[in-house]
C-alpha cells in the first residue's frame, strides 16, 4: 500500500472504483458465507438488531474527553510537553474511572456501557481525515479498486429493514457542500451492494420532515411527474450509461422505498415538532443534539442503522488545529447532554437492550506528536514548544496510537473498561489494542452476522472485513 496518497490520487482511485461498481453485475453471495441468511426479515440471531453510530468527526482527543491525564492549567511561557490534559478530570458512575470536565452527563450513564481506551487507528502515511474516516466506516484502507460498502450498508443488506417503510440506513448531520466533500461521498455509499442499501441523508435534523415529503406547493400529480422525470434523468446519466442491470434495479428500488415513505404514518417520526417541549429542549444543543433525538425516534419506528455526526468540516468541530481547549469546551456542550439523554431514553423504553450505540472518532489528538511515536508523519500544525498564547493550549496534532470509543446496549457489557493508554506522553495504547476490524466484527457479532460474510465481486471474494480475518472482541460482550 502506498504510504503517501494525496487528495487527487485518492479521488481518482475511488472514482474509478465507483464506476467499476456501477458496471459490475450483481454481487454473488458465496455458499460458504452465512451472510445472516438464517435470520427472518426484521430479526437477528444476535443480541442487537439496531445500531446507532454517534460520529465525532474531526479527531476527538482521548486525553481531553474519556481518558484524561494529569491536568496542567495554562500559563504564558509554559512548556507544551508538560501539557497532557487541559481539563480537570471528574468522576463517573464507575468507581475509579474519570472523564474530562464537561462530560459529566455521559459519565453518569457509564454504568450502562463499556469504555474502550485502546483503539489504535491505522498507519496510512500522511494523515488525511477523509482517508481515516473512509477506513473507519468501511474497514478498508483507501483507495480500493472495489467500491467498499459503508458499515451501515452491510447491515442494511444482510438484515434488511426492520420496518419496510423506514429506511434501513439513515445518515444524519453531514452535508456535502463543505470541504473534502467528494472524499466524504466516497464512503457514504453502499458500494457494490447497490443503491437501495445506501444511506438516506438528512443533513439537518430540524428539517427532517422536509426530507420525506414533497416541497410546499407541489401537489401529488406534479410530484409524480417530477419523479418520472428524475427516473428519465437517471436512465440517461452515469447509472443508465455505465450501470449494470443490478445497479439500475437497485437504484429504482431505492426510489420506490423513498416514495413509499412519503405517504406513510411513520413519516411523522421525522417531525421533531411533535416531540414534547421538555424532551426537545434537553436534546436541543444544536444539529448534533437534535440528530440524537431524531435517532431515538427512528429507532422506535424501526430504523436498522443510524449515523449521527457532529459533521466533518475542515478546521471546525473536533478538527482542532488551534484553540483546542476553548473549542472543546463548546463541543462538549453539544454532545454531553444529548448522548446521555439518548441512552437514558432508550433504556427507559427497553430499546437499549436490542440497540447497540457506539460513540467514536477517526483518531485522537496530541499536543506534540503527529501520528504515533514509532511512525511519525509530516507535521501539519505549527505547535510551538513554548506556549505564548492561549490559542496554542490544546491538542492540535493528529494522534493515532490511543483513542477512546464508547459502546452501550445490544449485548455490550455494562460498567466495563477495556484497554489502557500510558499516563505520560506519548499517551499511547499499552494494553489490549483494538483495531477497526475488531470493532466491525464486534458489531456484526452482536447483530448475529458471521465473520466470513462476503460476496463474490469481479470473481473475487470481498469480505465485510479485509480477507475475512477480523475477529470480534469477545471481552466486550456479555
Please report the pLDDT score of residue 324 as a whole number.
97
pLDDT value at position 1? Answer: 42
Q: What is the DSSP letter of 62?
A: G
**Which residue from 176, 203, 202, 201 is spatially nearest to 190, judged by alpha carbons?**
201
**328 and 394 in contact (C-beta within 8 Å)?**
yes
Where residue 237 falls among pLDDT bands split at 50, 70, 90? low
What letter does residue 100 receive in the DSSP assignment? E
pLDDT surpassing 50 at residue 59: yes
pLDDT value for 274: 93
- 235 has pLDDT over 70: no
**pLDDT attached to residue 224:** 65
Mean pLDDT of 101-121: 98
d(CA 204, CA 311) in angstroms, rounded, equals: 10
Share the mean pLDDT of the chain.
Answer: 88
| Count of all residues that appear for the chain in the document | 478
Q: Comparing 38 with 261, which gets the higher pLDDT?
A: 261
Which of 10-14, 115-119, 240-244 tops mean pLDDT? 115-119
Q: How much of the chain exceeds pLDDT 90, in percent?
A: 72
pLDDT (average), residues 152-167: 94
The band of 44, judged by pLDDT with boundaries at 50, 70 and 90, is low
DSSP code per residue over 109-121: TGGGEEEEEEE--
CB 359 within 8 A of CB 403: no
Beta carbons of 362 and 180 less than 8 angstroms apart: no
How far is residue 359's CA from residue 61's CA, in Å, rounded to a whole number?
A: 13
Among 10-24, 45-59, 219-233, 257-271, the range scoring the smallest mean pLDDT is: 10-24
On whether the CB atoms of residues 427 and 421 are closer than 8 A, the answer is yes
CA dihedral 241, 244, 250, 256 (to 10 degrees): 40
Instruction: Give the tens place of pLDDT for each residue, 397-434.
Output: 999 999 999 999 999 999 999 999 999 999 999 999 99
Amino acid 32: pLDDT: 34
CA distance 117 to 119: 6
Burial of 78 (0-12, 13-18, 19+ CB in 10 A): middle
pLDDT of residue 258: 63
Q: Please give the helix or strand (H or E) that residue 358 lies within, else none.
A: strand 355-360
pLDDT at 295 over 90: yes
- The pLDDT of residue 12 is above 90: no
Question: Mean pLDDT throughout 66-92?
Answer: 98
**Stretch 38-58: mean pLDDT:** 81
Give the residue from 270, 281, 72, 278 showing the smallest Cα distance to 165: 270
What's the confidence (pLDDT) of residue 60? 98
Q: Binning pLDDT at 50, 70 and 90, where does residue 266 land?
A: confident
Average pLDDT over residues 255-279: 83
Q: What pLDDT is recorded for position 195?
A: 87
Per-residue pLDDT, 31: 37
Q: Convert the pLDDT of each residue in 358-371 to its tens digit.
A: 999 999 999 999 99
CB 410 within 8 A of CB 355: yes
Three cell numbers at 130? 477523509
- Give the confidence band of 179 by pLDDT, cuts at 50, 70, 90: confident
All 3 cell numbers of residue 269?
417520526
Average pLDDT over residues 84-93: 98
Distances (CA, A) of 228 to 23, 199, 218, 245, 259: 23, 22, 15, 19, 12
Res 264: pLDDT: 81
pLDDT for position 37 = 44
pLDDT band at residue 251 under the 50/70/90 scheme:
low
Domains of the chain, start order: 7-208+266-476 (3.40.720.10)
Instruction: Point out the least confidently predicted range of 122-131, 149-158, 396-405.
Output: 122-131
Q: Average pLDDT for residues 171-181, to the nearest whole number?
A: 92
Which position has the higher pLDDT, 375 or 354? 354
Query: What is the signed CA dihedral for 252, 256, 259, 265, rounded to 10 degrees?
Result: -160
Least confident of 6-10, 70-74, 212-216: 6-10
The pLDDT assigned to 39 comes to 47
Grid cell in block for residue 294: 431524531
Amino acid at each position: 500500500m502506498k504510504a503517501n496518497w494525496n487528495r487527487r490520487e485518492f479521488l481518482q482511485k475511488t472514482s474509478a472504483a465507483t464506476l467499476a461498481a456501477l458496471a459490475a453485475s450483481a454481487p454473488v453471495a458465496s455458499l460458504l458465507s452465512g451472510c445472516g441468511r438464517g435470520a427472518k426479515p426484521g430479526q437477528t440471531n444476535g443480541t442487537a438488531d439496531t445500531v446507532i453510530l454517534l460520529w465525532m468527526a474531526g479527531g476527538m482527543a482521548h486525553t481531553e474527553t474519556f481518558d484524561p491525564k494529569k491536568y496542567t492549567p495554562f500559563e504564558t511561557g509554559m512548556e507544551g510537553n508538560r501539557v497532557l490534559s487541559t481539563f480537570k478530570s471528574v468522576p463517573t458512575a464507575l468507581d475509579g474511572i474519570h472523564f474530562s470536565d464537561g462530560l459529566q452527563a455521559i459519565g453518569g450513564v457509564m454504568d450502562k456501557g463499556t469504555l474502550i481506551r485502546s483503539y489504535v487507528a491505522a498507519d496510512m502515511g500522511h494523515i488525511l481525515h477523509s482517508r481515516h474516516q473512509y477506513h473507519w466506516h468501511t474497514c478498508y484502507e483507501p483507495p480500493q479498486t472495489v467500491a467498499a460498502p459503508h458499515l451501515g450498508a452491510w447491515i442494511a443488506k444482510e438484515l434488511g429493514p426492520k420496518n419496510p417503510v423506514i429506511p434501513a440506513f439513515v445518515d444524519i448531520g453531514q452535508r456535502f457542500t463543505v470541504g473534502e466533500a467528494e472524499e466524504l461521498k466516497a464512503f457514504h455509499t453502499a458500494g457494490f451492494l447497490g443503491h437501495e442499501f445506501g444511506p438516506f441523508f438528512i443533513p439537518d435534523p430540524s428539517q427532517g420532515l422536509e426530507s420525506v415529503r414533497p416541497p410546499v406547493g407541489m401537489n401529488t400529480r406534479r410530484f409524480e411527474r417530477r419523479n418520472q422525470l428524475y427516473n428519465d434523468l437517471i436512465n440517461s446519466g452515469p447509472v443508465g450509461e455505465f450501470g449494470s442491470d443490478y445497479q439500475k434495479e437497485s437504484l429504482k428500488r431505492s426510489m420506490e422505498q423513498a416514495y413509499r415513505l412519503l405517504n406513510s404514518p411513520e413519516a411523522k417520526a421525522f417531525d421533531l415538532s411533535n416531540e414534547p417541549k421538555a424532551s426537545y429542549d434537553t436534546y436541543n444543543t444544536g444539529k448534533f443534539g437534535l440528530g440524537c433525538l431524531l435517532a431515538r425516534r427512528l429507532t422506535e419506528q424501526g430504523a436498522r442503522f443510524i449515523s449521527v455526526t457532529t459533521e466533518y468540516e475542515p478546521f471546525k468541530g473536533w478538527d482542532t488545529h488551534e484553540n483546542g481547549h476553548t473549542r472543546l469546551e463548546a463541543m462538549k456542550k453539544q454532545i454531553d447532554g444529548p448522548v446521555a439523554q439518548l441512552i437514558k431514553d432508550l433504556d427507559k423504553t427497553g430499546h437499549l437492550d436490542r440497540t447497540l450505540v457506539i460513540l467514536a472518532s477517526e483518531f485522537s489528538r496530541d499536543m506534540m506528536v503527529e501520528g504515533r511515536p514509532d511512525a511519525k508523519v509530516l507535521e501539519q500544525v505549527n505547535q510551538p514548544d513554548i506556549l505564548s498564547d492561549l490559542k496554542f493550549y490544546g491538542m492540535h496534532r493528529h494522534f493515532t496510537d490511543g483513542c477512546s470509543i464508547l459502546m452501550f446496549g445490544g449485548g455490550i457489557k455494562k460498567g466495563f473498561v477495556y484497554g489502557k493508554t500510558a499516563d505520560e506522553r506519548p499517551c499511547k495504547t499499552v494494553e489490549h489494542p483494538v483495531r477497526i476490524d475488531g470493532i466491525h466484527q464486534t458489531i456484526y457479532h452482536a447483530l448475529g452476522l458471521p465473520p466470513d460474510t462476503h460476496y463474490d465481486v469481479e470473481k473475487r471474494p470481498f469480505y465485510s472485513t479485509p480477507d475475512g480475518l477480523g475477529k470480534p472482541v469477545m471481552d466486550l460482550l456479555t
